[in-house]
Structure 1
Amino acid sequence: MARIRTIKPEAFASESLAEVGVHAERTFFGLLTQVDDHGRFRDQPAVIAGLLWSLRPEHGAIGVEDDLTQLAEAGLICRYEAGDGKRYLHIVTFRRHQKVNRPSGSRCPACSLHPAASGQGDLKAVRAQGELRESSQTTHGDSGEAVVTHETAGQRGLDESSVSPHGGSGESSVISHCPDLGPRNVDLGSPPSGGAAAPAPEAVSTQQLIGEYAASCAHRPPNGVLGHLGREVVKLLAEGIAPEHIRAGLARHRAKGLHPSTLPSLVHEAMNATGSTSDLMRPESANTVRGHRAWANPVDPAAAYAEEL
């Protein structure tokens, strides 16, 4: 449901907005009217294009995807995936610039990387969880009453909320999409490198792989294509796919010029394709038939073709 929002005059002199294109700036102002009272909305470029650009068909879902990528790189929005497997976004500075009287509840899960931008209600829930955890470690004052340090509980709740939500021992690399927090490359799949003599593992980021892909192209691909490829690379790294296999898949994608969603299939092809078609032949399909020999019109046919006869 669209809402009436406030745009401050200094927004048109914002250095952050000046980093993005005019289309991205218009999409940002349009998002202000579509997000809920906590600044959240579903990350669906096609739906956003229909809401904000319905009378501008030349700027469709691919253009909106480019807009959202620019806004995320400028730190104006944060794109994240919640526990339900769906993608969401929220305006990072929404609570700072929008004063909502009696905000309604949100149907979108909060972003754990920006607890301060999630609204007062979510902060109270975080503090309450921290107080429950601290309640088992109470101290007794002079009067004998149990005393709980609420400041420590609140700080613990905020500290725990800063942990990346994409945890799990099966993931090899987790990359934060929030530019203002900086890139986070966490290698969760490799064992800890203990000891002073242990070499530090070399981490390959999504930005590095996409940068190599763009540099090897004759012309720089559109930002929408690079953004889609970046999301596919993030998923592949999270599955533990080796960077050299991803590079090989990107090289095949560049040569064939296919849709970015085909990158996993190309990586699979690079990982498991056989080098020769002879490996695909069944053992029983070997040469069991004697080669053809032209009729030679022998004097004694029975003696010449005794084996065949």
Structure 2
Amino acid sequence: MPNRYIRDSINMSSSLAAVSILSEVLFIHLLLAADDYGRFLAEPQALCGLLFSMRTDISIENITEALQELENEGMIQRYQADKRTYLQIVKWSKYQRARAKNSKFPAPVLDAVDTCKQMQTNAPDNDNEHDHGSEHDHDNADSINAIMRKGSL
């Protein structure tokens, strides 16, 4: 996983103050786990296994509720692509910068309503089959995909 910097201004976030402690912890884990474009899997079972594998007190239902809270607060956007559910951390580019040339996860498709509310970025998607970002990013994507194929999450 890439190294991430979390600014101390997170301590004064009114959005984080509006959600439960578990939602806040999930959001911080997502900041650390997301790819360079702020995208990650949004399937509760996968998140429970990938982000909270050592915690027996956090259930899939807890993660489902926390995701809904984060989405209601406008901190994440969930979307479907390739028959999977992903998330995009809203305002990602304001706090992090992309180092990889491509995302490990598909981009959300903006509908007409979203297009009016949010500016589109010109960040490249992962459609370019000849450029896969850093070797480290490619290895992480392969590891996550292998875990998901095994059905262990």
TM score, norm. by length of structure 2:
0.70
How far 1:53 sits from its partner (Å)?
A: 1.7
Q: Is the 8 A contact 2:15 2:73 kept in 1?
A: yes
Residue 109 (structure 2) aligns with: 112
Which letter maps to 2:94?
A: R
CA distance in 1, matches of 2:120, 2:24: 20
CA change 1:5–1:80 in 2 (3 A) is same
Q: Is the 8 A contact 1:110 1:118 kept in 2?
A: no
Q: Is the 8 A contact 1:5 1:33 kept in 2?
A: yes
Residue 93 (structure 1) aligns with: 91
Which letter maps to 1:92?
A: V
Look at both structures and tell me which one has the larger radius of gyration over its CA atoms: 1
CA change 1:11–1:56 in 2 (3 A) is same
CA distance in 2, matches of 1:117, 1:17: 25
Q: Does 1:68 align with 2:67?
A: yes
Unaligned runs of 5+ in 2: 126-153
Q: Is the 8 A contact 1:95 1:117 kept in 2?
A: no
CA distance in 2, matches of 1:116, 1:103: 21
Residue 50 (structure 2) aligns with: 51
CA distance in 2, matches of 1:117, 1:35: 19
How far 1:117 sits from its partner (Å)?
A: 6.7
How far 1:112 sits from its partner (Å)?
A: 2.5
Q: Secondary structure at the match of 2:124?
A: helix
CA distance in 2, matches of 1:61, 1:109: 23
Q: Does 1:9 align with 2:8?
A: yes
Q: By percentage of residues, which structure has more strand?
A: 2
Which letter maps to 1:24?
A: S
Q: Deviations over 1:40-80 (max 9, x none)?
A: 11221111112222222111211111111100000000001
Asked which structure has the greater RCO (Cα within 8 Å, sep 6+), the reply is 2
Backbone CA RMSD of aligned residues: 2.2
CA distance in 2, matches of 1:75, 1:16: 8
Moved over 2 A (4+): 112-122
CA distance in 2, matches of 1:117, 1:57: 39
Which letter maps to 2:105?
A: C
Aligned length: 120
Q: How much identity, in percent, do the aligned residues show? A: 34
CA change 1:91–1:34 in 2 (3 A) is same
Unaligned runs of 5+ in 1: 123-309
Residue 78 (structure 1) aligns with: 77
